[in-house]
């Protein structure tokens, strides 16, 4: 999954924001606390001095509306009014105490968390219709600014908990915000970088920006804009250059004046601003690849070539083949050679103050992350009590007095009728499993469950791949459930590690391992929850599952579009090929052939000939009859008529 940083804090005294990924930022000024949100949606605040988890907050919608950005509020002095008297030791702490923490969510709301109360302060919602990408505090007033995917900027009043003003900032989503040190100007990033006058809410200046989404905006100087001494820097996604812009009186400030070279896109930035031309800008940038780059530069006009880092810090493990340890965040201190680093993973980061020799161009720090993870949770956060065991203590376990209960006793202690008391070998157990599965003998499921549980424990202890493969190949959910239920508690963690290792392999194997993982989580939840290092034990599994499913939604959409496209192509191709132009049914009349043979005019020739033959036949018949009448003496003329003629 890709992570984009957005640090929109003002100077080193104000908190930053880190959006569109896993937010992680140090508290302002003292750097006493580190606030971060991991993949599980929980807000965790770590104490950097004693390296303990100070507070943990779970938002009500942490799964559906995950945290997208974090910003610490500026340090506030004690409120005026009737209050109880403070001790001298408490007075300084109250004045510099960090209280409020703003969290932007994917649901379009902003959560305000109080670190003093350890509870939710208020929720700001109803103005944004998209994901909140960045939140930024005003340095003096109780105001908060938020930018969202809905292309709008909202000005919130923390005293009333309602929006004071809302205006459209760009045609593209607002990805980063930053308020000037004097609280009069506001930088916003969308398609371009705009500088707003907070009093009139009008655009003061426009800058070209980057070709990709701007994720970082920071003011680099505290000088007024009318002196040509106001500078700010910006970073973008997939951009290995950190650009510095100058606000000029003549308005000729469309392009950047200085660029800093990076090895990857910036994820976390901390800086000490420059108050004059004689004071250099100190900059610490943590990139996506986990490296830290330190810069020091005097801002006094343009510089043609990109500047290389003064020093690059990288961390590796202590293995034979060293593996890079990613840096999460870095904070500068008043001492130029001292740094506060946070590295490891977001679920349980490691915080350390280190001395860095900036005279060396590249510094590689070697750390054993597994042994360094000695962070403990305070009793106010974790209610799980871990007993303190010394050398004189004696651990009592179930079993006979003075004897330790065997791990496998709960599995194979029961003797069945008709079986020998001698323990069967692994080969015999595998053979019985195959025979019971093939023959389907009555009572085979209970025998299989016991054998599977014993074999599973033996395979985990001996790390025999053949035994584990035989056990993990089953697909029966009831058999898996009963087998996991009979596994002893000391074998639960090795089983989870084996399942995690196999899920990283072929997807077919992962499908089978998901059933086993589900059974383990359902049967042994109480035991896993009591482990003090549960976060470290399940961290790899959680990251792997998160990486597997993060593309599922996009793949589902792509599958639907491709299916629709292929269906249309197949339908159109079938219509072209299957067209048959021959008639399926032809009806012919009887007279059609005669009409076609003779033409349109007259009667048919054959019929005319027949009529002539009929006439000649009639004439011949009449002559024959006359001849017969003459022979017989008959006459056609009547006697009366003959006499008249005579």
18-73 confidence digits (pLDDT tens): 334 578 888 887 888 899 887 777 888 988 888 888 888 887 765 566 788 899 88
Encode pLDDT of 523-561 as tens digits: 888 888 888 777 777 877 877 787 777 778 888 889 899
pLDDT at residue 520 is higher than 80: yes
CA 646 to CA 581: how far, in whole Å? Answer: 85
pLDDT at 260: 93
**pLDDT of 191:** 79
pTM of the model: 0.56
Q: Which has more pLDDT, 8 or 314?
A: 314
Say yes or no to pLDDT of 618 above 90.
Answer: no
The answer to whether residue 391 scores a pLDDT higher than 80 is: no
Distance CA 153, CA 169 (A): 6
In degrees to the nearest 10, what's the CA dihedral of 164, 191, 26, 312?
-160
Report d(CA 31, CA 15) in Å as an integer. Answer: 10
> Residue 637 above 50 pLDDT?
no
Q: Considering the chain, what percentage of its residues have pLDDT values greater than 70?
A: 70
Kindly report the number of other CB atoms within 10 A of residue 431's CB atom. 12
Which has more confidence, 594 or 500?
500
Of the candidates 233, 212, 220, 294, the residue with the CA atom closest to the CA atom of residue 20: 212
| Both structure tokens of 484 | 């996991």
Query: Residues near 368 by Cβ (< 8 Å), separated by ≥ 6?
Result: 317, 318
- What's the whole-number mean pLDDT along residues 323-352? 87
Q: Is 121 helix (H, G, I), strand (E, B) or coil?
A: strand
Q: In the numeric block, which tokens belong to residue 183?
A: 């609280």
CB 183 within 8 A of CB 169: no
Mean pLDDT of 399-412: 43
Core vs surface per residue 572-583: b (16+ CB within 10 A) or e:
eeeeeeeeeeee
Pair type for strands 162-168 and 193-197: unpaired
Report the mean per-residue pLDDT for the chain: 75
Q: Is the pLDDT reported for residue 633 higher than 70? A: no
State the average pLDDT over residues 276-299: 89
The residue count of the chain comes to 646
Alpha-carbon separation of residue 318 from 8, 356, 364 (angstroms): 36, 19, 12
């Amino acid at each position: 999954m890709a992570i984009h940083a957005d640090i929109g804090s003002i100077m080193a005294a104000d908190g930053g924001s880190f959006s569109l990924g896993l937010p992680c930022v140090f508290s302002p000024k003292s750097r006493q606390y580190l606030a971060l949100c991991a993949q599980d949606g929980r807000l965790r605040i770590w104490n950097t001095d004693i390296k303990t988890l100070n507070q943990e907050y779970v938002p009500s919608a942490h799964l559906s509306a995950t945290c997208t950005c974090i910003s610490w509020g500026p340090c506030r002095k004690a409120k005026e009014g009737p209050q109880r008297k403070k001790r001298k030791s408490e007075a300084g702490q109250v004045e510099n105490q960090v209280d409020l923490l703003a969290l932007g969510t994917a649901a379009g709301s902003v959560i305000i968390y109080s670190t003093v109360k350890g509870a939710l302060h208020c929720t700001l919602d109803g103005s944004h219709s998209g994901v909140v990408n960045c939140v930024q505090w005003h340095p003096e007033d109780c105001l908060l600014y938020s930018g969202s995917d809905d292309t709008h900027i909202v000005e919130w009043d923390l005293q009333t908990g309602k929006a004071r003003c809302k205006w459209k900032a760009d045609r593209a989503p607002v990805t980063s915000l930053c308020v000037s040190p004097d609280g009069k100007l506001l930088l916003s990033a969308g398609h371009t970088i705009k500088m707003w006058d907070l009093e009139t809410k009008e655009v003061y200046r426009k800058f070209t920006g980057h070709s990709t989404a701007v994720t970082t905006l920071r003011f680099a100087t505290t000088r007024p804009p009318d002196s040509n001494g106001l500078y700010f820097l910006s970073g973008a996604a997939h951009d290995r250059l950190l650009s510095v812009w100058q606000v000029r009186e003549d308005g000729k400030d469309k392009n950047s004046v200085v660029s800093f070279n990076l090895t990857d896109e910036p994820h976390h930035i901390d800086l000490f601003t420059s108050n004059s031309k004689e004071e250099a800008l100190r900059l610490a940038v943590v990139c996506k690849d986990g490296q830290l780059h330190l810069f020091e530069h005097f801002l006094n006009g343009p510089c043609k070539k990109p500047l290389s880092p003064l020093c690059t810090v990288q961390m590796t493990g202590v293995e034979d083949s060293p593996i890079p340890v990613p840096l999460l965040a870095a904070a500068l201190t008043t001492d130029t050679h001292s740094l506060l680093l946070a590295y490891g993973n977001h679920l349980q980061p490691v915080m350390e103050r280190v001395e860095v020799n900036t005279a060396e161009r590249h510094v590689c720090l070697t750390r054993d992350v597994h042994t360094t993870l000695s962070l403990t949770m305070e009793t106010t956060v974790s209610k799980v009590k871990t007993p303190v065991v010394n050398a004189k203590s004696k651990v009592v376990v179930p079993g006979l007095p003075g004897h330790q209960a065997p791990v496998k006793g709960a599995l194979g202690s029961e003797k069945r009728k008709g079986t020998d008391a001698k323990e069967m070998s692994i080969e015999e157990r595998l053979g019985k499993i195959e025979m019971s599965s093939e023959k389907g003998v009555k009572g085979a499921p209970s025998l299989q469950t016991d054998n599977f549980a014993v074999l599973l424990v033996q395979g985990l202890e001996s790390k025999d791949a053949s035994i584990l493969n035989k056990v993990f190949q089953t697909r029966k959910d009831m058999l898996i459930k009963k087998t996991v239920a009979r596994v002893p508690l000391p074998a639960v963690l090795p089983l989870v590690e084996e399942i995690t290792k196999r899920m990283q392999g072929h997807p077919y194997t992962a499908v089978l391992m998901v059933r086993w993982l589900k059974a383990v989580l359902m049967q042994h939840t109480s035991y896993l929850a009591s482990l003090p290092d549960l976060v470290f034990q399940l961290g790899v599994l959680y990251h792997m599952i998160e990486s597997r499913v993060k593309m599922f939604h996009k793949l589902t959409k792509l599958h639907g579009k491709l299916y629709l496209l292929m269906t249309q192509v197949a339908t159109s191709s079938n219509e072209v090929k299957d067209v048959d132009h021959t008639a399926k049914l032809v009806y012919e009349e009887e007279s059609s052939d005669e009409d076609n043979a003779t033409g349109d005019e007259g009667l048919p020739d054959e019929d005319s000939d027949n009529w002539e033959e009929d006439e000649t036949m009639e004439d011949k018949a009449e002559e024959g009859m006359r001849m017969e009448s003459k022979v017989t003496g008959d006459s056609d003329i009547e006697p009366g008529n003959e006499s008249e003629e005579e």
